[in-house]
Amino acid sequence: MKKILVLFLSLMLLMPVTVLGEVASGLDTYPVNLGDFSITVTSADIIQKGEKAEGVLLFQLFPAYDENSMFHSNINGTWTAEDLSIIGEIGAETYGNVVLEQTSQQLASQGIAVSNTQLLYAEFDEETQSTSLIVSMDVDYTAVGVDLVMTLYQVQMYIPFGDGSSYIFTISSDTLENTETMMSYLETMEFSSDPINNTDTSFVESSSNVVDTSSVTIGQKNALRKAIDYLDYTAFSRSGLIDQLKFEGFTDSEATYGVDHCGADWNEQAILKARDYLDYTSFSRQGLIDQLEFEGFSNAQAVYGVDSCNVDWNEQAAKKAQDYLDYTSFSRQGLIDQLLYEGFSNEQALYGVTAVGY
């Protein structure tokens, strides 16, 4: 692990490596067991432990936490069952641009204004099969009630673990210089003697951690690239993207592989798809949920997507009423009944009809 991290610093940040002892001068340090590995922290830090599960933070560390600060630099780690050595087949820069787009979309879905997104560095290391990224973006939290405008820097490492799974480590900070100090924490990581029944415990040095991707077919690799291309263009549900790839001529197994390895957050995709529909026409809440389910999203994903859009359903009812009147004539009650049929509540339908002057 240390070999990866020192290489990461020397190639990407081009800074002298800061050791934790310098950061922790005068502070107590202690290791925190996180299952497959431990990480050393100081008495001034706050660390939150999660669990080793897909889509869940394994840990989040706030070095030298200051409760009075508007922004808290942090390090987090997640585990995934996916073999991320496949990034080498996609290309680090291609994958980095996808990560950058997904990160900015996720922040935007939370009401945070994002601009000036940049992929500063992207590198795949053949020896360790790991990928290193640095991204930056200007973020404005004003719309969510926080008086904070800043440039956010994220340093990300995607490291195959040797059993087909991978770890993702992300450093978020307000300056690149801060990432240097925070990298010193990752350098303290020590992996357990037998985390995944590997006999060689050196992790990076072990040949078992250079994952064999020869079983991945050309069709699967191309399906993965095509899935990423589609997500750069528009939003999809998981089943919708699989169907699209099959329409392109990929087999079911190739399409499924591509979609399941493209890194999509289907909840975020549901938000994007809901917004696409609202940009095109008006919907009731239930009507939009039904439309997303028709697109292949689960009910939970559809509900999440719709409820995350912060829609004024009264205004949607008014727009839908006007759409109908632009198309044909209605009695007042007939227009109310039509809006009820579309899934609007009685109160929303009455508002909509009244708003168009009926």
Q: Are residues 34 and 124 in the same domain?
A: yes
114: its two tokens: 């994002």
Residues forming a β-bridge with 190: 38
Amino acid letter, residue 238: R
> Looking at the domain assignment, is residue 20 inside a domain?
yes
Q: Are residues 203 and 69 in the same domain?
A: yes
> Looking at the domain assignment, is residue 223 inside a domain?
yes
Q: Are residues 203 and 223 in the same domain?
A: no
Q: Are residues 23 and 140 in the same domain?
A: yes
What CATH code is carried by the domain that includes residue 224?
1.10.10
pTM recorded for the entire structure: 0.54
> Looking at the domain assignment, is residue 305 inside a domain?
no
Range in 47-56, 290-299, 311-320, 328-337 the model is least confident about? 47-56
Per-chain mean pLDDT for the chain: 81
Question: What tens digit of pLDDT does each residue of 182-225 get?
Answer: 888 888 887 664 333 343 333 333 333 223 344 678 888 888 88
Provide the sign of the torsion angle of the four alpha carbons 192, 194, 196, 198, taken in this order. positive
| Domain span at 341 | 313-355
> Looking at the domain assignment, is residue 184 inside a domain?
yes
> Looking at the domain assignment, is residue 35 inside a domain?
yes
Which among 264, 282, 299 is the end of a domain? 264
Q: Are residues 181 and 103 in the same domain?
A: yes
CA atoms within 13 A on the CB side of 197: 2
Q: Are residues 86 and 227 in the same domain?
A: no
Q: Are residues 176 and 227 in the same domain?
A: no
Number of structural domains (the chain) is 3
Which among 228, 249, 264 is the end of a domain? 264
Contacts 24+ apart (CB under 8 A), 137-141: 137/100, 137/103, 137/104, 137/107, 138/114, 139/107, 139/112, 139/113, 139/114, 140/112, 140/113, 140/114, 140/115, 141/112
Please give the Cα distance from 87 to 266 (Å, whole number).
Answer: 20
Question: What tens digit of pLDDT does each residue of 135-152 get?
Answer: 999 999 888 777 889 999
Please give the Cα distance from 182 to 154 (Å, whole number).
Answer: 11
> Looking at the domain assignment, is residue 142 inside a domain?
yes
Q: Are residues 156 and 226 in the same domain?
A: no
Which among 165, 194, 209 is the end of a domain? 209
- Contact (CB, 8 A) for 2 and 187: yes
Question: What tens digit of pLDDT does each residue of 16-65 get?
Answer: 444 444 445 567 788 888 888 888 888 888 888 877 887 778 888 888 77
Quick one: average pLDDT of 339-355?
92
Q: Are residues 66 and 205 in the same domain?
A: yes
Q: Are residues 155 and 188 in the same domain?
A: yes
